[in-house]
A = this chain, B = another copy of it.
Amino acid sequence: MSATSLNTVPFVSVDHMMKLVLEIGIEPFLKGLAERIEADFRRWPQFDKRERVPCHSAEGVIELMPTSDGTLYGFKYVNGHPKNMKEGRQTVTGFGVLADVHNGYPLMFSEMTLLTALRTAATSAVAAKHLARKNARTMAIIGNGAQSEFQAMAFKALMGIDHLRLYDIDPVATEKCRQNLSGFGFTITACKTAEEAVEGADIITTVTADKRYATILNDNMAGPGVHINAVGGDSPGKTELSRDILLRSDIFVEYPPQTRIEGEIQQLDADAPVTELWQVIAGEAEGRKSERAITLFDSVGFATEDFSALAYVYDLARKTGHYVDLDMVADPDEPRDLFGMLLRADKTLKAA
């Protein structure tokens, strides 16, 4: 990432991202990412925030998620197409850009399919660190798709979770999750029902992918003291929890205007009380009120988390060298001479 060439922008490909994460180590990477996300939540008022900018279709949604802290600007492009899996494609893919607010030039272009999975898991673990019971060891994961292992690893790295209870409507997904996590020191129980999975769980993570109102978690499945990490319900019409659970829970959200549209709380009145996660992290609001309280992190994913992830990867890419420079910005010798640059290219081509 040379500072002298104005026209090139470092690009972190999928291959680079994998190498970068593996060089740092999955758990250390998640820990560092969680620290960055937590630090940015702590300075929440500094960010320029808005709901994501969606383009809905019958099959799914494409979203842009921009934010800025006044010095850096970041945005993510992300899609959500539940039926993609049947065509051999990812349900969620993404890429993003970090830019310099001072001159508007991009600083880095990065894949964000892997990075979104990592940042979503790291954010969940940051929330649980502040909301779950301190002695939590066992987590149920309902929905064992692409996001499930990342959740497990982040909760291990931040919370010391080492017992997993897995359930998916498709046993093949559960087996894939179990096998992928087999070398990381978890005690894993594959369960036949969601009811079985939540037995004895301190934390319940729901991370299913259907784009519809579904009830993955019934009211009787949320016992006293549990922390619910609701990750899968993240667009209008897509929820995972019974409304009754919401009424019994202390609810924590990222950015209320967005979560009221997309989160579990779209099932509640528009003025239903919620606490902003950043306030808990910054010490401005109470998190867990008692050992018997049910806490719920109604996660939908917010732009600041992607910003944190991009800034984190920007530092690591420079350290590790896992990127390639792209010829992305036109850079004539004289800035006003864009057309002249084109003419000179013509001469060069004709001379060649």
Residues on A close to B: CB < 8 A? Answer: 6-7, 11, 13-15, 18-19, 21-22, 26, 48, 50, 53, 55, 57, 59-62, 64, 66, 68, 70, 73, 75, 77, 79-81, 84-85, 87-91, 93, 95, 97, 99, 101-106, 111, 113-114, 117, 144-150, 153, 173, 176, 179-180, 326-332, 334-343, 345-346, 349
CB-CB under 8 A from A148, the residues of chain B are 339
Would you give the shortest CB distance from A79 to chain B, in whole angstroms?
A: 2
Contact of A340 among B90, B180, B335, B339 (CB under 8 A): B180
Would you give the shortest CB distance from A250 to chain B, in whole angstroms?
A: 31
A330 near B114 with CB under 8 A, answer yes
Chain B residue at minimum C-beta to C-beta distance from A181: B339
Copies of this chain assembled into the complex: 2
A105 near B77 with CB under 8 A, answer no
Residue among A62, A173, A179, A337 having the largest count of chain B Cβ atoms under 10 Å: A62
Interface of A: prevailing SS: mixed
A145→B97 CA distance, assembly (Å): 28
Contact of A180 among B97, B329, B339 (CB under 8 A): B339
B345 near A22 with CB under 8 A, answer yes
Can you list 6 A-B pairs with a CB-CB distance of less than 8 A?
Answer: A14-B329, A18-B342, A57-B102, A59-B103, A90-B331, A117-B339
B336 near A95 with CB under 8 A, answer no
Given contacts A53-B50, A66-B55, A113-B330, contact A60 B336 (CB under 8 A): no
